[in-house]
Amino acid sequence: MKIFKTIAVCALSAMLLASCTTTTVKTVPGIPKSTVDSASVAVGVAFANMIKSSQMENLNIEKIKQTIVSVLKGDTVIFNEQTAPMYIQGYIMKMNQAMGEIKRAEEDEFLAKNKTNEGVQESESRLQYKIEVPGNDVKPTLQDTVEVNYKGSLLNGKVFDSSYDRGETVKFPVNGVIPGWQEGVQLIGEGGKVKLWIPFDLAYGSQDMGPDLPAFSTLMFDVELVKVMKFQPKEEKKAGK
C-alpha cells in the first residue's frame, strides 16, 4: 500500500541522512564531480517524486532543506529514524481524512445539482443514473458475466479509461467490479445504454489508483451492455464417482 511504501522510503532516507556527518561533498577517486552532481540531482528527483506520489506536496520545502542540512551536520532534530516514519504515517492519515471531507462536500454539491437534470435518477446507495436505452429483458445478476463497451471519466471531463478508444469490448463478472458498476449494469438489458455517476464510496474511495484516477474521485461512466452470459452452476458429481 502506498502509505507504507512512503513510510519505508522516508525511513530509508532518514537512515541514509543520519549516517552522514557533513555537508561537504566527499570525492571518490575515479568519479568526476559532474557524475556526483548528476547523482545528486537524481536523488532529488526521486525524493520529489516520492513526495508528489504520496500527495504531500503541501509540505514546507524550506523546512525539509533545513532539516536535511541539520541531519547531515549531526545536529539534533525533533525526530529520529524511528519516530519520523511514525509521525509521517499519522500525518498522511490526517491528510487523507481532511481531503476526504473536502471531496465529499464537492461531491454532495455536484450530485444535488445533477439529480435535478432531466432523466437522472438516484438509488438508495446514492448511485445516480440515466437510462438512455433500456435494452431487452435479458438483464444481468451479480453471478453473471457481461460484455460491455464503456467510457469512464472524472467530473472535470478527463477520460481515464475507454473500451471505445481501444476498439474492443470487455468481459468481466458483475461481482468482480466496483459496487457502483455492479449496481448500474444491472439496470439495463442486452443492447441497453446507461450513464452512471458513481460516488467515491461506491468506487475506489481513498485509494489512489494512479495519476489519472486520484483518491476520492467521483466517476462518470457511459456503459453499453453488449451481451449477458448467464451463470452456469457446475454440475454436482454423481454419487459414487
* Catalytic annotation, residues: 150, 160-161, 178, 204, 221
Centre a 10 Å sphere on the Cβ of residue 29 and count the other Cβ atoms it contains: 4
How far apart (Å, rounded) are the C-alpha atoms in residues 90 and 86?
Answer: 6
- The enclosing H or E element of 147 equals strand 145-154
How many beta carbons lie within 10 A of that of residue 36, not counting itself? Answer: 14
Nearest of 164, 156, 129, 148 to residue 213 by alpha carbon: 156
Grid-cell match 463497451, residue found: 149
Residue given cell 571518490 in the structure block: 28
Please provide the DSSP assignment of 59-82 as one string. Answer: S-HHHHHHHHHHHHHT---S--TT
Give the angle subtended at the CA of 96 by the CAs of 90 and 101, to the nearest 5°: 130
Beta strands in 98-186 (DSSP E): 121-122, 128-133, 145-154, 159-162, 170-173
Handedness of CA 7, 13, 19, 20 (dihedral sign): negative
What burial class does residue 14 get, using C-beta atoms within 10 Å of its C-beta: 0-12 exposed, 13-18 middle, 19+ buried?
buried
Q: Residue 47 corresponds to which cell in the numbers above?
A: 525524493
Q: Are 152 and 161 in contact (CB under 8 A)?
A: yes
